[in-house]
Amino acid sequence: MYSISVENLHKDFRIYNRPQDRLLELLLRQPRHKLFHVLQDISFSVMEGRSLGIIGDNGAGKSTLMKLLVGTLQPTSGSIRIKGQVAALLELGAGFHPEFTGRRNIYLNAALLGVPDADIAEMEREIIEFSELGDFIDRPVKTYSSGMYVRLAFSIATMVRPDVLVIDEALSVGDIAFQKKCVERMNEFRKQNKTMIFCSHSMYHVQELCDTAIWLEKGRIREIGESHHVVGNYEAFCNSRSVEHHEPLDINAVEDRKIKDCRVIHTMVRSLDGEEIQEIEPLTDVIMETKIEILADNLMCNFGFAIMRNLSEIMSAYLTTDLDDVPKGPFMKGEILTVRSRLNAVSMRVGEFHVLGGVADASGLLWYETKLSNLIRIKSNKGVGSVVMRVNWDVQRG
C-alpha cells in the first residue's frame, strides 16, 4: 500500500519585472509575467513504512517539492495523494506565531495538525522535555535562537505521532547533541512503520535514514532508486564538477618523428579472470594491461601506469624505473609486449577514472607513447568520502 503517490507534478512561478505589473495584468487582462518552471514532470511513490531522501544542488526544487507534499503550496498541475496525517519540519519558524510563547505555539501547532486539546495537554510535558528549552518555553518565540526554533518544531512534529513525517534541511541548524536525539527519534519513527520524507545535504544521513532517494536536477528527477546508489552517483557528479576543467587534450597524440621506436596498441583494465571490465566494485583487485609493439632493435624500455581522474589530475602512478625484477630489454623490432600490473583493492568509493598505460626510454624520462583505457566506473556503495580502505577491526574488553 502506497503512503504517498505523486503523478506528473508540475509547479510554475510567475515572475514579474515590477510589482505594479501584477495589477496591470489584472486590469488589462494581458500577461505581463514570465513563467519559471520550478518542478517538471515529477512522479514517484513511497510505500507505507518506507523512507525517501531528496537530494540535489541548491535551486534544484527540493524545498518546493517538500512544500507541495505538505500542502503549503499547490501544484500547477499533477496530483499528490498522501494517506494519513502529515507533520512537517520545513523552513525555520514555519507555523510559529512570533509573539506567542513556546508553550502557546505547542497548542497552536498541534491544533493545526488536528490533535484534540486533551491530547495536547498530555503531550505538552514530553514536548518540553524533549526540546530541552526549560524556562524559555514561556518566552515569546521571537526571542529564540535558530537552534531553539528547531528544537521546538522537531519536538512537536514528532510527538504528535503522524503517519507521514516531512523534514527539510532545517534540522542542520541544531547542535550536535540535539541532532543525535533527532536521528534517534527518526529511527524510532521508522521502526513504528511510519513514512518519512527527508531532504538534506548530508549524504551520510540520507544513506542511513532513507531506503530510496530522488536526485533532483533543475526541477526534474535525474535519478531515483536505492539511496546508496543514488547518493554515490550524486557524489561522483559533484566530485567531477569540482575539478578545474581545461581545454581538451589529445593524450594519445605523440610527437611526429621519422623513426618511431615503439607504439602502444592498447591499454585496458581486466578482472583477475582476464575479462575486460569497465565497472568494478570498490576494494576489488584488477589487472592493468598495456600492449606494446617494438619498432626498433635493441630497445631498452620502462613501463608505467597511471590512474587518471581526468586529463589534468593523476591520482596515482606506477613506474618500472625502480623495479629490478621487471624485464626491460633489450627488445627487438617486431616484438609484441604485453605488460600487466595487478592493482590491489581499488580504493575509490565513487566516481570514474581512466588507466593510462605508457612506455618510456631506458632513463624513464622520455615517454615514447601513452594510451588511455576506456572509462572505468566505480559501482555505487555505502560509505562517506571519495576513498574507501580495507580495514580490520578488533574490540577488546578490559
Q: In terms of DSSP H, where are the helices of the chain?
A: 20-28, 62-70, 102-112, 117-131, 146-159, 176-191, 203-209, 227-242
In single-letter form, the type of residue at position 158 comes to T
pLDDT tens for 21-55 read 888 888 888 888 888 899 999 999 999 989 999 99
Task: Report the share of the chain in percent with pLDDT over 70.
Answer: 92
Q: For residue 173, what pLDDT is reported? A: 61
Q: For residue 291, what pLDDT is reported? A: 95
Q: For residue 112, what pLDDT is reported? A: 76
What CATH number does domain 2-242 carry, 3.40.50.300, 3.40.50.2300, 1.10.240.10, 3.40.50.10440?
3.40.50.300
pLDDT tens for 312-333 read 678 888 888 878 889 998 999 9
Q: For residue 75, what pLDDT is reported? A: 92
Nearest to 277 by CA among 199, 357, 379: 379
Distance CA 87, CA 139 (A): 24
Nearest to 150 by CA among 236, 90, 76, 211: 90
Mean pLDDT of the chain: 84
Distance CA 184, CA 196 (A): 14
3-class DSSP state of 255: coil
Asked whether the beta carbons of 166 and 87 are under 8 A apart, the reply is yes
3-class DSSP state of 248: coil
3-class DSSP state of 104: helix
Distance CA 25, CA 35 (A): 14
Q: Which residues contact 309 (CB under 8 A, 6 or more apart)?
A: 243, 315, 351, 352, 353
The structural architecture, per CATH, of the domain 262-378 is Distorted Sandwich (2.70)
Distance CA 212, CA 243 (A): 28
**pLDDT lower than 50: segments of the chain:** 244-259
3-class DSSP state of 346: coil
Beta bridge partners of 306: 317, 356
Instruction: Compute CA 126 distance to the chain's CA centroid, rounded to the nearest angstrom.
Output: 35
DSSP string for 257-312:
-SS--EEEEEEEEE-TTS-B-SEE-TT--EEEEEEEEE-SSSB--EEEEEEEEETT
Distance CA 153, CA 147 (A): 10
Distance CA 362, CA 222 (A): 50
Q: For residue 172, what pLDDT is reported? A: 65
Q: For residue 127, what pLDDT is reported? A: 87
Q: Where are the domains of the chain?
A: 2-242, 262-378
Q: Which residues contact 83 (CB under 8 A, 6 or more apart)?
A: 1, 2, 3, 4, 48, 163, 164
C-alpha cell at 195: 513514512
Dmax (CA) of the chain: 96
The count of C-alpha atoms lying within 13 angstroms of the C-alpha of 184, restricted to the half-sphere facing its C-beta, is 8
Q: For residue 239, what pLDDT is reported? A: 73
